[in-house]
């Protein structure tokens, strides 16, 4: 997406539109990416509010967009070079430059980048430009493409101090702001500068806010720029909700003993907890005694009343009798008389 721009009579490039909050549907097919830059501390400084706040934001971010944090050197030429390299590498969907404005009482959203370097203090390399253009022959000023008023309203709704500012002055933050807006003029992505108050660790005169509070302010800025919305929780209809909360009752023919005293049912007696015995202290269980072998059944006795003759099992070592060539006829059985039984003589 490319934007059209028209030059006004005062040399300010005015975009064809000032974008509102970008909705999540503007980035279909994947996760959107937000590049947030901060500045490294100046030599000898104990802390830097922008670096600390953005670092906390990046470490605690859980939104749908991807946060890419890059630090810029507090040097005019090097800061602009790192910004161009980060944009070319990550191809972000939004770019937010975060700087520190010591003495500021609130989070400041800048609206205009001025093509002028007129530094009150030198940078980390001792360079202090005076009345010099950021880009020779370029437009006098470039508008921020962040939804500035929406950002301020969102911050104030959360109880965070916020304000709008027409321009960021003529120092290092404005220098990077102008370079960024000129590079991204044809990209059509939201980009701009947000300046933060100092933190107590910086030990400077004037208002100060903890880095954690500033990180929450930046979280609100990103949410507003990218159109982040918390998905509403599904609410049941009245009929469904009444059915879901209706107690399930059924007639009980006999009392049921349970572990819950529901509907006045008696409690089940508590079961004693099984005693845990250490494996080393456990006594070995005695081995089961072998079962006695069954005694052989006594041979059946011969009964004179029935005339049954018991079968005698033949040992395996005893050879089987040879079969006669011609089978002999077995004589008919005759029951013995009493005299034979008494005398012990029988013909059979």
Nearest to 108 by CA among 161, 39, 159, 35: 161
In a domain, 16, yes or no: no
3-state secondary structure of 114: strand
In a domain, 197, yes or no: yes
In a domain, 287, yes or no: no
Give the whole-angstrom CA distance, residue 196 versus residue 213.
10
Cβ count near 71 (within 10 Å): 18
In a domain, 344, yes or no: no
> Taking 80 as the threshold, does the pLDDT of residue 343 lie above it?
no
Residue found under tokens 């052989």? 296
Domain that holds residue 53: 33-226
Q: What is the mean pLDDT of residues 319-329?
A: 58
Residue 239: per-residue pLDDT: 46
In a domain, 123, yes or no: yes
For 98, 100, 238, 348, the CA distances from 311, given in Å and listed in that order, are 113, 118, 91, 16
> Taking 90 as the threshold, does the pLDDT of residue 103 lie above it?
yes
Tokens coding 330: 């077995």
More confident residue, 130 or 19: 130
Provide the domain count of the chain.
Answer: 1
Residue 259: per-residue pLDDT: 53
Give the whole-angstrom CA distance, residue 172 versus residue 191.
17
Q: Give the least confident one: 70-79, 110-119, 231-240.
A: 231-240
C-alpha torsion sign, points 143, 146, 148, 149: positive
- 210-261 pLDDT, tens digit per residue, is 999 999 999 999 999 998 644 333 444 444 444 444 444 445 455 545 554 4
User: Residue 98 forms beta bridges with which residues?
Assistant: 194
Q: Give the least confident one: 61-70, 173-182, 237-246.
A: 237-246
In a domain, 325, yes or no: no
Cβ atoms 253, 245 nearer than 8 A: no
Residue 328: per-residue pLDDT: 60
Residue 188: per-residue pLDDT: 87
Torsion of CA 39, 44, 46, 52, to 10 degrees: 10
In a domain, 195, yes or no: yes
Mean per-residue pLDDT of the chain:
77
Residue found under tokens 């954690």? 212
Q: What sections of the chain are H helices per DSSP?
A: 49-60, 76-90, 148-157, 172-183, 211-226, 238-245, 338-343
Geometric angle at alpha carbon 231, from 229 and 235, rounded to 5°: 145
What share of the chain in percent tops pLDDT 70? 61
Task: Give me the CATH number covering residue 42.
Answer: 3.40.630.20
For 107, 143, 147, 152, 155, the CA distances from 159, given in Å and listed in that order, are 12, 27, 19, 11, 7
Is the pTM higher than 0.85?
no
Residue 174: per-residue pLDDT: 98
In a domain, 237, yes or no: no
Cβ atoms 70, 146 nearer than 8 A: no
Q: What is the mean pLDDT of residues 37-58?
A: 96
Residue 341: per-residue pLDDT: 72
3-state secondary structure of 132: strand
Q: What is the mean pLDDT of residues 199-213?
A: 95
> Taking 90 as the threshold, does the pLDDT of residue 65 lie above it?
yes
């Amino acid at each position: 997406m490319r934007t059209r721009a028209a030059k006004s009579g005062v040399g300010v490039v005015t975009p064809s539109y000032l974008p509102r909050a970008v909705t999540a549907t503007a980035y279909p097919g994947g996760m959107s990416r937000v590049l947030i830059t901060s500045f490294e501390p100046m030599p000898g400084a104990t802390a830097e509010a922008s670096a600390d706040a953005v670092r906390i934001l990046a470490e605690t971010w859980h939104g749908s967009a991807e946060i890419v944090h890059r630090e810029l050197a507090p040097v005019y030429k090097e800061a602009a070079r790192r910004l161009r390299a980060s944009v070319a590498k990550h191809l972000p969907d939004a770019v937010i430059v975060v700087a520190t404005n010591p003495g500021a009482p609130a989070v400041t959203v800048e609206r205009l980048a001025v093509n002028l370097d007129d530094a009150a203090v030198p940078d980390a390399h001792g360079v202090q430009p005076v009345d010099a253009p950021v880009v020779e022959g370029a437009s006098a000023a470039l508008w921020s493409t962040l939804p500035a008023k929406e950002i301020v309203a969102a911050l104030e709704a959360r109880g965070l101090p916020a304000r709008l500012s027409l321009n960021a002055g003529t120092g290092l933050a404005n220098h990077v702001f102008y370079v960024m807006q000129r590079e991204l003029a044809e990209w059509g992505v939201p980009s701009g500068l947000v300046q933060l108050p100092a933190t107590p660790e910086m030990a400077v005169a004037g208002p100060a806010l903890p880095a954690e509070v500033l990180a929450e302010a930046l979280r609100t800025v990103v949410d507003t720029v990218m159109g982040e919305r918390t998905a509403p929780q599904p609410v049941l209809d009245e009929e469904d909700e009444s059915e879901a909360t209706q107690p399930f009752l059924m007639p009980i023919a006999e009392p049921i003993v349970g572990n819950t005293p529901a509907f006045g049912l008696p409690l089940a007696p508590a079961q004693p907890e099984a005693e845990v015995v250490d494996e080393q202290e456990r006594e070995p269980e005695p081995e089961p005694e072998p079962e006695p072998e069954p005694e052989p059944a006594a041979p059946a006795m011969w009964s004179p009343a029935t005339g049954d003759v018991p079968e005698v099992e033949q040992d395996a070592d005893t050879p089987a009798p040879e079969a006669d060539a011609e089978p002999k006829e077995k004589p008919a059985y005759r029951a013995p008389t009493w005299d034979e039984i008494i005398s012990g003589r029988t013909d059979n």
